[in-house]
Structure 1
Amino acid sequence: MNILFGIVFIVLGLVCLVVKPNHYVGIRLPWTLNDRKVWYQTNRLAGGLGIIIGLVIWLMPYSLTNVILGLVIFIAIPVLVAYRLSHVN
């Protein structure tokens, strides 16, 4: 099971690395949709996190707690970074 969840996170990470600004895929927040620079920085961060989290989940023994923690990290950190980047100016 951990291999499956690891692959899902890796695929999500790879998608975030290459996705262009849109309303359907990626870290879609008002801050990221209004500024292309914030979009690319946030999704690049989310992509890297997704790949790292996927590899960690893949290598660790299966635990639903690990998957949930990985999902929270995958979402929370990019959202906080996007908010910070958009409100710096």
Structure 2
Amino acid sequence: MQYRRQRTAALLFVLAGVAASAVVYPDLPREMATHWNASGDVDGTMSRTVGAFVLPAITALVVGVMLVAPSIDPRKDHYEAFRGVYEGFVAGTAGFLTYVHAITLAWNLGYEIPIGQALTPALAVLLYACGVLLERAEPNWFVGIRTPWTLSDDDVWRETNERGALAFKLAAVLALGGLLLPAYAIVFVLVPTLLAAGYTVAYSFLAYRRKEA
């Protein structure tokens, strides 16, 4: 079966999250910290029963949706051109969410990890992976820079997604600044990501207008 390794990796990440929660469950507090603000302070909690397994459940749901999406896409034939990269991205997303889950468990077991610094490299890798996926994605309804203008013209799609690939790779590099200035880790991740997203939307509009002129 094609892409068995990527799908197996995604499944193993889900199972690893469930297994980790099951092993440490008795040692977790009755009320688990599950959300932190930009300063790294806890500002959200859940009961142990929910908090211990909610992220593995979300990971399984995300993986399932991402694997099913190509089969229901009206342009599903276009996925074959980048299916390997797409399947790898699915596994990478599962790995990222499992990493976040591991940090959450560690914190609740008494390890006061600097959340911003711990998440920064993982977010940078995820942003870079988005860039790789964008530069390979062919026109479709689920993956890539999907605006009214890219979905209306395949040439605008390809041009915009190539630009988007560079923008998100640059955002990934800039995100690493959070390792040097942990107090501003969220800024180094969020601002370049928003700028990359805004740039690609604007570019798609301008590219479409230019072609139609």
Normalising to structure 2: TM-score of the pair? 0.40
Worse-superposed segment, 69-78 or 7-16: 69-78
Two-structure CA RMSD over aligned residues (Å): 1.2
Q: Does 1:76 align with 2:194?
A: no
Correspondence for 1:6: 124
| Offset of residue 30 of structure 1 | 1.1
* Equivalences for residues 1-89 of structure 1 within 5 A: 1-61=119-179, 62=182, 63-88=185-210, 89=213
Q: What are the ranges of 5 or more consecutive residues in structure 2 without an aligned counterpart?
A: 1-118
SS of equivalent to 1:32? coil
Structure 1 moving runs of 4+ over 4 Å:
none
Give the distance between the partners of 1:66 and 1:57, measured in 2 at CA.
5
Give the distance between the partners of 2:188 and 2:159, measured in 1 at CA.
26
Q: Match for 2:133: what amino acid?
A: V
Q: Tell me: higher relative CO, structure 1 or 2? Use CA pairs within 8 A at least 6 residues apart.
A: 1
SS of equivalent to 1:21? coil
Give the distance between the partners of 2:193 and 2:170, measured in 1 at CA.
12
Give the distance between the partners of 2:178 and 2:207, measured in 1 at CA.
33
Give the distance between the partners of 2:134 and 2:196, measured in 1 at CA.
11
Worse-superposed segment, 1-10 or 18-27: 1-10
| Offset of residue 56 of structure 1 | 2.0
SS of equivalent to 2:150? helix
| Offset of residue 21 of structure 1 | 0.2
Give the distance between the partners of 2:197 and 2:146, measured in 1 at CA.
11
Q: Match for 2:186: what amino acid?
A: L
| Offset of residue 59 of structure 1 | 4.6
Normalising to structure 1: TM-score of the pair? 0.92
Give the distance between the partners of 2:162 and 2:207, measured in 1 at CA.
13
Structure with the larger strand share: 2
Give the distance between the partners of 2:133 and 2:143, measured in 1 at CA.
8
